[in-house]
Every structure is written in C-alpha cells, then in structure tokens.
Chains A and B, each alone.
Chain A
Amino acid sequence: MPIEAKELELLIKKAFPDSDVILKDLVGDGDHYEVTIRSVMFNDKSKIEQHRLVNKALSGYLGGTLHALSIKTLSLDN
C-alpha cells in the first residue's frame, strides 16, 4: 500500500523540525521515493546514526507500507 508524498514529508518534518527536505517520487506510484534530508540534528553523527534517526521517524512504514525509499542525510556541519 503506497504512502502519499505529503504524509511522508510530514513525518520527516515532525521528527526533524529544522530540516530541508527534498522528496522525489521516482516512479509516480507513491511507493518508490528518494529523500534528501538536511538537518542540524545530524551534526556530529555517523551515517549509521543519521539513518537510524530517519528509520525511527518512519518506523512502521519502512520495509512495510513504503517499499522503496532511498535516504540521503546531510548535516549542517558538512
């Protein structure tokens, strides 16, 4: 079952209020997205830690409702 882009962006914004989010619906089926998130909350964290924060924000969706999400995280200190 797909997820609306707006809903996905809302979930991310809720977890990372300061973030810039670029969301691409790769196929147009609401099921294959690529997201780039830039947030101060990623500062001083390893890639794994950054991705874990995103995974947590999207828990219950990733690997379930949301089949394919490509994640890119950027901190403000890089």
Chain B
Amino acid sequence: MSDKILIQIKSDIENNNVVLFMKGSSQIPQCGFSATVCSILNNLGIEYKDFNVLLDNDLREGIKLYSDWPTIPQLYIKGEFIGGCDIVKEMYASGELVELLKKHELIA
C-alpha cells in the first residue's frame, strides 16, 4: 500500500464535516455495524460523506492504519476520529453525540 491512500484519506476527512468509512453505502449498508451507524446519523438528520471500503481494498487497509483502529465502520467529525459502532451507539444514547454535533454547529 502506498502513502497515496493515506494522503487521500486525510484530505477526505479534512474536507468533509462528517465522514463515515463503512461496508456498503449509506443507501445499502452491507454490515450490521455499518447499518447501525447510518441509521443513527440519519435519525439525527445530518449530512455525511460515506466511503465504501468494500470497493477499494487499499482504502479498507489504509483507514485501519490511519486511525490505528482495526475495525470498520469508523466515524469522523470535523477531522476527529470518533469511534466505531459501539462508541457511536453509546454516545448517541448518552446525548454526547448530539452535544458534539451542536458544538460544531452541524445540528441546531
């Protein structure tokens, strides 16, 4: 794997407010964990950029390297790695996720 993919990932994360690296697309998730994160983001009504790692093996391996996190999905907000499905679920339940999105003025 070349550094090119890591540079591409960095730029994608920096150029989009909310980014989800997932299996499948936001329209058709292909993994239960990815589907859960999509449904949380959809419930919150926020826009996000999704990247399907199943279409690009370099991206699939690159994103794990980038965040030093072995699993997918991975959610990024304003350039910051938030976590995978379990953490996003917990943060949604506790209200932390809404607070974070409000702080960044991504939801009213």
Contacts and interface: CB of A to CB of B under 8 A. Distances in A.
Interface of chain A: mostly helix, strand, loop or mixed: mixed
Interface in A12-54: 47-48, 51-52
B81 A48 contact: yes
A31 to B, nearest CB: 12
Interface residues of B, number: 17
Contacts of A48: 81-83, 87
B33 interface: yes
B90 A63 contact: no
A59 B87 contact: no
Interface size class of A (residues with CB under 8 A): 10 to 19
A71 interface: yes
B11 interface: no
Interface of B: 32-33, 64, 68-72, 81-87, 90-91
Given A47-B83, A47-B87, 12 more contacts: A48-B81, A48-B82, A48-B83, A51-B87, A55-B70, A55-B71, A59-B70, A63-B71, A63-B72, A70-B33, A70-B85, A71-B86
